[in-house]
């Protein structure tokens, strides 16, 4: 960045810090949504598999002329199926997976902005608007994404602090 003034350096530094904040926000959001997705996928299986098994067992006990047991198994299968219908774990998992992917894509765009585009000092007048557009994307994603459960966020923070989201090349610096 030869030929840049100290004022330009201050602007670039401010843009870099804001891009880093954006990266950090989107990293935590994407990781939190991936964790929330995993939770809902597990709930889907924990409800769906027993419901299927109980339905089959109810049918078998009915065939064996054990109506009391068949009634119990049928009620349990109905309860689990009702919970699946009400909670819609597959749909919730898909919403979190989509949000996670969008936050991850935005993180990548912010990193590219910070690492590559900020080096183009001849475009210094365009860069604030570009960063503002990335920030607006994040704000929009925050508004339309499902809430991340606290447990998923805590697990995300722990994973990030343990280096799960760090690229090998970044560890070498």
Name the residue ranges covered by the structural domains of the chain: 7-161
Model pLDDT for residues 14-72, shown as the tens digit of each residue: 999 999 999 999 999 999 999 999 999 999 999 999 999 998 988 888 888 888 888 99
- The CB-based long-range contact list for 75-80 (8 Å cut-off, 24+ gap) reads 76/50, 77/50, 77/51, 77/52, 80/47, 80/48, 80/50, 80/51, 80/54
Where residue 169 falls among pLDDT bands split at 50, 70, 90? confident
Residue 128 CA, chain-centre distance (Å), reads: 27
According to DSSP, residue 118 is labeled G
Per-chain mean pLDDT for the chain: 92
Cβ proximity of 30 and 107 under 8 Å: yes
Q: How far apart are CA 121 and CA 43, in angstroms?
A: 50
Where residue 3 falls among pLDDT bands split at 50, 70, 90? low
DSSP alpha helix (H) spans, the chain: 6-63, 67-87, 89-115, 127-144, 150-161, 168-172
Which among 12, 57, 18 is positioned nearest to 138, based on CA atoms?
Answer: 18
Where residue 131 falls among pLDDT bands split at 50, 70, 90? very high
Cβ proximity of 23 and 110 under 8 Å: yes
Model pLDDT for residues 92-120, shown as the tens digit of each residue: 999 999 999 999 999 999 999 999 999 98
pLDDT recorded at residue 34: 96
pLDDT higher at 166 or 126? 126
Residue carrying structure tokens 């610096």: 173
């Amino acid at each position: 960045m030869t030929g840049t003034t100290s004022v330009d350096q201050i602007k670039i530094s401010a843009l870099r810090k804001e891009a880093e904040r954006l990266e950090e926000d989107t990293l935590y959001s994407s990781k939190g949504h991936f964790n929330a997705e995993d939770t809902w996928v597990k709930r889907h299986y924990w409800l769906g598999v027993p419901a299927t098994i109980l339905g089959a067992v109810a049918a078998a006990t009915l065939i064996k002329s054990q109506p009391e047991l068949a009634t119990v198994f049928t009620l349990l299968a109905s309860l689990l199926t009702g919970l699946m219908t009400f909670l819609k774990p597959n749909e919730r998992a898909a919403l979190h997976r989509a949000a996670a992917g969008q936050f991850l894509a935005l993180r990548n765009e912010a990193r590219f902005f910070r690492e590559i585009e900020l080096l183009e000092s001849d475009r210094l007048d365009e860069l604030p608007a570009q960063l503002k557009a990335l920030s607006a994307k994040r704000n929009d994603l925050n508004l339309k994404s499902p809430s991340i459960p606290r447990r998923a966020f805590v697990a995300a923070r722990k994973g990030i602090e343990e280096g799960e989201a760090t690229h090998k090349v970044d560890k070498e610096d």
